Amino acid sequence: MTTERILYPPSTLGVVGGGQLGRMFVQAAHRLGYTTVVLSPSRNDPAAAISEHVIEGAVDDLTALRELAKRADAVTVEFENVSAAGLRWLERSKPVRPGWRSIWVAQNRIREKSFLAANGFPLPAWASLRMASDLEGMSKFKGQSLILKTAASGYDGKGQVRVSGPEAIASAWDSLGRVPCVVEEVVNFAGEISCIVARGVNGQVEPFPVFWNQHRHHILDLTQAPAPIGPAATTEAQRVATAVASCLGTVGLLTVEMFLTRQGELLINELAPRPHNSGHLTIEATPTSQYEQQVRALCGLPLGSGQLRQPAAMANLLGDLWANGEPDWAGCLAGDSEVALHLYGKSNPKVGRKMGHLTVTESNPESARARVLAARQRLCREIPGD
């Protein structure tokens, strides 16, 4: 049973997962006067480290989820690879937003694409690959470059293999351990965008601006807002994201990642029913950040405004920057005092690991982009003697 009661501070908000998205949710919750309890494997994890209460445990551990149900007045998630069955069970006693169904659909690429296709949303050409007999149907992709993606547990390009055509699918599938996969066409895109919307308990939807995303090695590197795609594509991206959230019945945040093709068509790449890396810049650039919207939707409060106050650019800081020791914080911060630095409190930098990010807001979008890249560049330490 889900109650529609509004939760006011200092109610206790539970988060399943302890990463940086959870940390920034906890920061927003604290600012509004809420108490938090984080379920995460270690109390040193980014969100757990700043939460009043922590339950140490695996995010799909039923005993830990039961403890969370006891301590929290409402529960949200910071990533989708959590037990949908566990969340469904939790929903019997406490509001869980987004609900288990949004999570269940988004945590498996076959389910996600089937849901989107069944509801008429635009997708790249795709097919599911669950068993050897599915290979027979792959000849429909003749002459096309393709990507195999594992249906479950893939993110940031993990569990993905590119192939030159349908004849190479079988051996690529072997390399992925013959687990259930989707096969999709490689889209020759003009750009990648994301549209995050917040949806409240009453069905009110508040879209954020459309973000323009650049990736390096499959990991988000830079986000710019507004996306330089013109008003028609912007309106259409927000319309699609709003329609998907309403169709899924998501309460909370839904991120819709899309490709903009060279013909100006929007194709959905994937869904994330949670805050998204591309939305970090909303902390500075919109009156209500994606994290505050998540708090508001979870608590049944009216949503705030997601309208851009100023153009903005965000650059991720990966563990690679620590290769020659601690990055040059002094150089970065002294060089431009308006750069917002966010570090996630992770002690173990590794190549490709998201350690923090930088944001710049200013009226000229190109200059915001140049300044955030320059600030990141100033963090790089030369190897002594090089």
Which residues contact ligand AMP (rule: CB under 6 A)? 124, 147, 149, 154-155, 157, 184, 186-187, 192, 215, 218, 257, 269-270
Minimum CB separation of residue 186 from ligand AMP in Å reads 4
Minimum CB separation of residue 271 from ligand AMP in Å reads 10
CA distances from 25 to 74, 91, 270, 313 (A): 14, 20, 22, 20
Minimum CB separation of residue 187 from ligand AMP in Å reads 4
Q: Which is nearer to ligand AMP, 163 or 187 (CB)?
A: 187
Decide if 311 contacts 344 (C-beta within 8 A). Answer: no
Q: Which is nearer to ligand AMP, 187 or 222 (CB)?
A: 187
Cα(302)–Cα(304) distance, rounded to whole angstroms?
7
Minimum CB separation of residue 76 from ligand AMP in Å reads 22
Tokens of 13: 């908000």
Q: Which is nearer to ligand AMP, 45 or 112 (CB)?
A: 112
Name the nearest CA neighbour of 22 among 42, 6, 36: 36
Minimum CB separation of residue 155 from ligand AMP in Å reads 6
Minimum CB separation of residue 97 from ligand AMP in Å reads 24
**By Cβ distance, which residue is nearest to ligand AMP?**
187
Characterize the bridge pairing of strands 146-150 and 340-343. Answer: unpaired
Q: Which is nearer to ligand AMP, 205 or 272 (CB)?
A: 272
Cα(56)–Cα(40) distance, rounded to whole angstroms?
5
Q: Which is nearer to ligand AMP, 140 or 215 (CB)?
A: 215
**Cis peptide leading into 98, omega within 30 of 0?**
yes
Q: What is the DSSP string of 101-114?
A: HHHHHHTBHHHHHH
Q: Which is nearer to ligand AMP, 100 or 141 (CB)?
A: 141
Find the helix or strand (DSSP H, E) in which 215 lies.
strand 205-216
